[in-house]
Amino acid sequence: MPEPIMTTAHESGGLRGRRVLVTGGSKGVGRAVASRLAAAGATVVAAARKDPGNLPPAVHFVSADLSTADGCAELATAATDLLGGIDVLINNVGAGTPPPDGLLSASDDIWERTIQLNLLASVRLDRAVIPEMIARGSGAIIHVTSVGAYFPVGPDAPYEAAKAALSTYSKALANEFSGRGVRVNRISPGLIANDSVSALLARSTHGAPDDPGAQILEEWVRGIPLGRPGQPAEVADLISFLVSDQAAWITGSDFRIDGGSFQAV
């Protein structure tokens, strides 16, 4: 049996015993967040379509398809039953389908699937958990958007548009419910070295002149003042702070974490 991870009160930020749901929690930023909060003493449910089989023992996994209303409702029920309630919700799930031949080739189906997952999944889960948070007088919600919501940088405009809508919705949610004890913040990551990004960068490093994706990423990295992509753990550290007691007076805010790429001059 693995030894428990010990943290001090300062390190945990008051997260010990908090009940947390993380969507998109099987890999990348979501997995890093689930691991980070569990290490701080929280009880964590990570949700995704497929179980990666490599989550820390302290993290519970629930399979969920968040592209549908039924999938969101089933996850909210399952996580609440497992945890006995939800104190912290990390709306991290997201994915896009770049139109094959430019923006005008994006079909209604692409737009609808993108909006369902990147916007409505968060709306539906928020709707499910906020009433209980209000009843307790406390709760914390994070919406993971993207720098692409403010500065379209890639070939996937439907994804970036959905994330822009999520950002606006998140601010409105904070305005309405912060006075009732529910803090809502959003983070906008830049280029993060998840599995797919790391694979593309590796191809770029070893020379892939015919791979447009690798070329785009190589140019993006050259434009990052800190000179590298971010790591999922670095995003997890920011989220851990924002949902902790140390951030008790922070709500309705957007935090870009992008290595300096898109900061206002």
Positions annotated as catalytic residues are 159
Are residues 108 and 41 in contact, defined by beta-carbon separation less than 8 angstroms?
A: no
Closest Cα to residue 130, out of 141, 142, 118, 119? Answer: 141
Are residues 147 and 256 in contact, defined by beta-carbon separation less than 8 angstroms?
A: yes
- Give the angle 96-49-90 at the CA atoms, nearest 5°: 75
First to last CA, the chain: 51
Measured between alpha carbons, how far is 44 from 79 in angstroms, rounded to an integer? 9
Measured between alpha carbons, how far is 24 from 144 in angstroms, rounded to an integer? 10
